[in-house]
Amino acid sequence: MTLLNAKEITLDEVHRLLGFQRQYLASFTPSLSLESLSEFEQQEILQIRDDFDNYLIEGKVLEGMVKALTIFPLLRLAGFYRSPLKISLEENIAPVNIVDEDTNITGRLDILAVNKSILTSNNIPFWILIVEAKNSDIAPSAGLAQLLTYAYKSLDRQASVWGLCTNGQLYQFVYIQRQERPIYQLLPFLNLMEPEPFEILQVFKAICKLQQN
């Protein structure tokens, strides 16, 4: 049997082994309903941007600091820390067994947000958002194959899940759906270093709110 680690899997292998098909979406609507931010929220995300920029101008920001400076504060602002939602870190995924290829894929996802009040099969909480983070000098797309691999098993239990690949500066949200062949839809890149990077927090909030309805 061939053993693969999700960190080493390629997007071509994800398409071939897991059957994923790619689509592109030009806008976050109508998938999400983006609401205006309060003055406080606008100031908070600008502060997140400035804090990250202070590290970025000194050179590469490592993955751990990317999470600490950007992802965790954004998740907090968006409401992901509030019950019944729950954040897990560095969680092992159940092995993905590809019978026809005699292949097992293992891995450990970076950040997972779940809703503990919604249980799927085997009493597993509903997955809301999977986040794959990279160092600031690595393109977010480098984490897409990992993200899709981690999401694949959740589609056995639920119809869809949101994902995010980011290096702290660039954010690419992905909407992953169970179909006869699973589909992932790539949303436009968002940039934290913009003068008004408010849409990033709007998307986080919309995903959080959507999964609580």
List pLDDT tens digits, range 183-200: 999 999 999 999 999 999
> pLDDT at position 212, please?
57
User: Which CATH number fits the domain 2-210, given the four candidates 3.90.1570.30, 3.40.718.10, 3.40.50.2300, 3.30.2350.10?
Assistant: 3.90.1570.30
Quick check: pTM over 0.95? Answer: no
| Long-range contacts, stretch 206-210, CB < 8 angstroms, 24+ apart | 206/28, 206/32, 206/33, 206/34, 206/35, 207/32, 207/78, 207/128, 207/129, 207/162, 207/173, 208/78, 208/79, 208/80, 208/85, 208/113, 208/128, 208/129, 209/33, 209/79, 210/32, 210/33
In angstroms, the CA 2 to CA 21 distance is 23
Mean pLDDT of the residues in the chain: 92
Q: Is the pLDDT of residue 97 over 90?
A: no
| 8 A C-beta contact, residue 193 and residue 49 | yes
In angstroms, the CA 154 to CA 177 distance is 10
What residue ranges do the domains of the chain occupy? 2-210
Average pLDDT over residues 74-94: 90
Looking up tokens 């809703």, which residue turns up? 115
Query: For 115-126, what is each residue's pLDDT tens digit?
Result: 999 999 888 999
User: pLDDT tier at 100 (50, 70, 90 boundaries)?
Assistant: low
Chain centroid to CA 92: how far? Answer: 16
Maximum separation of any 2 CA atoms in the chain, in Å: 56
H-type helices in 31-188, by residue range? 39-56, 63-66, 72-78, 144-152
Query: For 126-164, what is each residue's pLDDT tens digit?
Result: 999 999 999 999 999 999 999 999 999 899 899 999 999
